Structure 1
Amino acid sequence: MALSFASILLGSSLILQASGTPLPTSKCCNLLDAEFRGGEKVVYPQTSEYEVLNTYFAPTSQQTPSCIFTPSDTSDISRAIKLFTRHSCKFAIRSGGHHYNAGWASIDNGILLSLSNLNKVVYNPSSNSVFVGSGNRWRKVYDIVEPHGVTVVGAQNSDVGVGGFLVNGGISYLADQYGWAVDNVRDFEVVTAEGRVLHANRYENKELFRAFKGGSSNFGVVTGFTLDTVKSNPVNSAYVGFPASSYDAFINAAYQYCLKGEDPKSQILFISFLSVKNGAFSVENAASLIYTDVMDLSNPPKVLAPFMDGTIPSSGAQVMGRNGTLGSHGHFLAEIQKPGGRTTRQTISILPDARLLKQFQSIWIKTAEEYKNVEGFKADLLFQPIGKKWIVAGNAKGGNSMGLTEPVIILWVQPHWTSAMDDETMADFATRVITLFEKVAKDAKKLSNFEYLNYAGPKQSLMAGYGTESIRRLQSVKRQYDPRNVFGTLLPGGPKVPGLY
């Protein structure tokens, strides 16, 4: 059940605000520089290092920080957070810079806290775990652990940063077996608003441990994660395209897959691509198929067969990876999903319903008609199920903050375009499509209030859909670990715990 803003406020008494008179950001940068004795940890504009550190996967998420702080370790972050709190200096936290929303891992006229030097990865075979610094990308993690016959429940694209991906949930190909990626965190190493360094796990700071599982950066800076390792089974993948004439059969089969979720080793991402050719729309549908075990592509598992055996007329199949690993597949995706394109994303979740999925595509195409003259305009409509096995697997690991109790289908709309002049126009397109989706899903009594943070737009309701019990837990943890709301006010971007303003 989603909470209204008023009901959360009335029940929480959590009107928090960081105190102190804010200093101009330039002075904050100077104080930070002085704190670290004028070393090389504070990077300023118009330098080559600044340009590298301030480059993002999507240019639409890039902003202009007054300076960039590059700590070497947790101690550096502790000292910096104390300074930020004392002088009310605004800042942002960047792990990999892969989120599309401006302000979530970037900042204008503030300090960008770059975690790029927190890149230690230490595999411990005796405890079946690996310590991963928050500034890593998944590529390094996979490359270190997989030669030992194990892997981690990590990102599909190995170029994605570890930190933001995990604290916002984390969708992995292993989710039906092990839950959300963050469900597989054994320990969080954290710097709090007071600059304290502590650990959150099943035995220490247990409520904070649960809060960080989907609670984003609301309680401190996570500087490192201890992750479970799991056996590395073969990963097989294929991409199958379907023409518009097969759409009804494609969606009916997709709905059955979402409804049943009978094989936890499988995962399918359903995609529709819209492009403009000679002033007219071209639409292609596709299924990206994953099977995390040995698979004969000529005789696929029953759960994948409808998409591979010709039952649905297809426009062609491509084998993406055969008997590889999560890492090799993640590296392949990183190669084909190139950075640098202007894009944005918004999301919605629904209860499984084939009729709605068909209606959504019609709405998406009709709305796009008004935008087809935007230079470089293309659009994607994607969806995948969060099934019962996924939710049960997460609960078996102790549960999380996201509040999902029943299977849903996550959908997201993602336009692409060429010019920065069209950024607002394309954000408007995504908002309009999602608003229409929400209306028809609500009318059909199939709307879920859950919004997956890593696919959410900057102005969506975000964590309000986690449900009453989860929100109360998050508020309680906030009261204990960040009573002045440093990570709600001095860290202006990103998802926030409802009821704090």
Structure 2
Amino acid sequence: MALSILSILLGSSLVLQASGTPLPTSSRCCHLLNSEFRGGEKVLYPQTSEYGVLNTYFAPTSQQSPSCIFTPSDTSDISRAIKLFTRRSCKFAIRSGGHHYNAGWASINNGILLSLSNLNKVIYNPSSQSVFVGSGNRWRKVYNTVEPYGRTVVGAQNSDVGVGGFLVNGGISFLADQYGWAVDNVREFEIVVADGRVLKANKYENKDLFRALKGGSSNFGVVTGFTLDTVESKLATGAYVEFPASSYDTLINAAYQYCVKGEDPKSQVLFISWLTVKNGAISVKDALSLIYTDIMDVPNPPNALAPFMDKKIPSSLVQILGRNQTMGSHGHDLTQIQHPGIRTIRQTISIIPDAQLLKQFHRILIQTAEQYKYIEGFTTDLLFQPIGKKWIAAGNAKGGNSMGLTEPVIILWVQPHWASAKDDEVIAQFVTKVIMQFEKAAKDAGKLSKFEYLNYAGPKQGLMEGYGAESIRRLQSVKRNYDPKNIFGTLLPGGPKIPGLY
């Protein structure tokens, strides 16, 4: 019996306390948290199955090793935990769905992972045509809840994405040109701020915080829930189109025209270049994914999409995806295409639309990839998506946000994939090298935008600096009001931070 008890003690923090040896900071914080919640099942330790499930991420590259995982049941639990973290200087990370690719943004080494997975209520209110969504949800549940009522939400294109991180960082939706960023469609935030208070932020109450949270990331507290506007659920049709190399110049010219005209807010196009390696040689496939958020006559597509579907630009494949489906159905389909478990990272850049610059980026990517093609499992993608006048105007019509965009831009991102963790650092160098060349080319052309979309940003990019001076001043003011001790800048080490404060 004595040996059994000793074994238990050796496997716990109690033996360190009994011997007088101070606990490491993270272990001490986990022990204090466990004591705060009276040894219940809300604090999970390594080597348990529950810990393993909650510490699994869409991209293995973003996974780290928290000392423990805290699984609060409600805002009261989070309030108590934040007070403890503040009092005891405990470092932590916040995880909603675990879909961001940057290590340390929703994960942590030697700290506490605050998992919002139990904050999973989705409650539709037919009278206000709004829906309350707990931050721990994924978009699948939200779509499935509201669409039987003939409504939908301005949510993620992939329904497996977590709600919380997607929204506080902006959120790109298939409906963006009609309704703005996803976060523009938040009617109210429920948030636990640095001193443990649970606040509501909307256009009447805590108005400064309400605006700041629209793209302000996790700088002000733990957002525990969102009340979202819903919109009429219309059927949409998607398509995937591939083009031979001989069509590339014509394709990019048409893409540029689509970006600058922005004539049909019901259409959205994502332009893609896939680079793969076969028999030691790089092959390039140029394609686009498009969606029309209304009934579409495929043989006679809308004017905005006709250049990509009417065969005037020779294409090698036209595949119709999800003819006349709901937004939720398109989101569910995308989860079948974007598979979890693959090593991947991203970095982003935004430019003022320019066809020649886009072609130059294409050449830079191919030339740089030649140096890395022998990495096991190496492939890389270059994707770009326009943010047009209608998108920006739709957000402004809902009161504006923190992201500071006033003129159309094209968001681009480079996203490699590879097989082994031993190549993580080399691949990170590849992405940085490509983006640095993109930035130089864009500066030389006078087309570089400082805006960086947070959900596609790399861990060391400029991030919020591209929001503009006026927006940053506003964010700094709100930060001083709600987190004067910078708890969510120091104890929450990961994620974007407001520049120029501390």
* Corresponding residue for residue 391 of structure 2: 390
* Corresponding residue for residue 13 of structure 1: none
Opposite residue 397 of structure 2, the aligned amino acid is A
Q: 1:500 Cα deviation (Å)?
A: 2.4
Structure 2 unaligned blocks of 5 or more: 1-22
1:89-120 deviation line (CA, Å, top 9, x unaligned): 00000000000000000000000000000000
1:274-319 deviation line (CA, Å, top 9, x unaligned): 0011111110111101000000111111110111110111111111
Opposite residue 271 of structure 1, the aligned amino acid is I
* Corresponding residue for residue 365 of structure 1: 366
* Corresponding residue for residue 460 of structure 1: 461
1:489 aligns with 2:486: no
Distance in 1 between residues matched to 2:262 and 2:368, nearest whole Å: 31
* Corresponding residue for residue 203 of structure 2: 202
Is the CA contact (8 Å cut-off) linking 1:23 and 1:87 kept in structure 2? no
Structure 1 unaligned blocks of 5 or more: 1-21
Distance in 2 between residues matched to 1:243 and 1:88, nearest whole Å: 57
* Corresponding residue for residue 10 of structure 1: none
* Corresponding residue for residue 349 of structure 1: 350
User: Which secondary structure state, in structure 1, belongs to the residue aligned with residue 427 of structure 2?
Assistant: helix
1:468-487 deviation line (CA, Å, top 9, x unaligned): 00000000000000000000
Distance in 2 between residues matched to 1:287 and 1:335, nearest whole Å: 18
User: Which secondary structure state, in structure 2, belongs to the residue aligned with residue 385 of structure 1?
Assistant: strand
Distance in 2 between residues matched to 1:281 and 1:304, nearest whole Å: 30
Alignment of 1:14-93 (within 5 A): 24-93=25-94
* Corresponding residue for residue 442 of structure 2: 441
The structure with higher relative contact order (CA 8 Å, sep 6+) is 1
* Corresponding residue for residue 189 of structure 1: 190
Is the CA contact (8 Å cut-off) linking 1:23 and 1:88 kept in structure 2? no
Alignment of 1:378-457 (within 5 A): 378-457=379-458
1:284 aligns with 2:285: yes
1:260 aligns with 2:265: no
Opposite residue 240 of structure 1, the aligned amino acid is V
Opposite residue 480 of structure 1, the aligned amino acid is N
Distance in 2 between residues matched to 1:287 and 1:297, nearest whole Å: 16
Distance in 1 between residues matched to 2:42 and 2:299, nearest whole Å: 55
Q: 1:23 Cα deviation (Å)?
A: 6.8
Opposite residue 95 of structure 1, the aligned amino acid is S
User: Which secondary structure state, in structure 2, belongs to the residue aligned with residue 300 of structure 1?
Assistant: coil
Q: 1:499 Cα deviation (Å)?
A: 1.1
Alignment of 1:50-199 (within 5 A): 50-199=51-200
Is the CA contact (8 Å cut-off) linking 1:262 and 1:303 kept in structure 2? yes
Name segments (4+ residues, structure 1) moved above 2 Å: none
RMSD: 1.0
User: Once structures 1 and 2 are overlaid, which stretch shifts more, 22-31 or 468-477?
Assistant: 22-31
1:452-476 deviation line (CA, Å, top 9, x unaligned): 0000000000000100000000000
Q: 1:128 Cα deviation (Å)?
A: 1.1
Distance in 2 between residues matched to 1:62 and 1:227, nearest whole Å: 30
Distance in 1 between residues matched to 2:346 and 2:501, nearest whole Å: 26
Distance in 1 between residues matched to 2:377 and 2:164, nearest whole Å: 32
* Corresponding residue for residue 17 of structure 1: none
Is the CA contact (8 Å cut-off) linking 1:119 and 1:133 kept in structure 2? yes
1:296 aligns with 2:305: no
Alignment of 1:298-313 (within 5 A): 298-313=299-314
Distance in 2 between residues matched to 1:429 and 1:293, nearest whole Å: 40
Specify the structure having the higher radius of gyration (Cα). 2
Distance in 2 between residues matched to 1:55 and 1:380, nearest whole Å: 24
* Corresponding residue for residue 316 of structure 1: 317
Is the CA contact (8 Å cut-off) linking 1:155 and 1:171 kept in structure 2? yes
Q: 1:215 Cα deviation (Å)?
A: 0.5
Distance in 2 between residues matched to 1:378 and 1:162, nearest whole Å: 29
Alignment of 1:210-221 (within 5 A): 210-221=211-222
* Corresponding residue for residue 8 of structure 1: none
Is the CA contact (8 Å cut-off) linking 1:176 and 1:390 kept in structure 2? yes
The alignment's TM-score, normalised by the length of structure 1, stands at 0.95
* Corresponding residue for residue 376 of structure 1: 377
Q: 1:348 Cα deviation (Å)?
A: 0.2
Is the CA contact (8 Å cut-off) linking 1:23 and 1:89 kept in structure 2? no
Opposite residue 171 of structure 2, the aligned amino acid is G
User: Which secondary structure state, in structure 2, belongs to the residue aligned with residue 262 of structure 1?
Assistant: coil
Is the CA contact (8 Å cut-off) linking 1:43 and 1:49 kept in structure 2? yes
Distance in 1 between residues matched to 2:246 and 2:43, nearest whole Å: 57
Opposite residue 358 of structure 2, the aligned amino acid is L
* Corresponding residue for residue 4 of structure 2: none
1:388-436 deviation line (CA, Å, top 9, x unaligned): 0000000000000000000000000000000000011111111110100
Alignment of 1:226-245 (within 5 A): 226-245=227-246
Opposite residue 424 of structure 2, the aligned amino acid is D
User: Which secondary structure state, in structure 1, belongs to the residue aligned with residue 371 of structure 2?
Assistant: helix
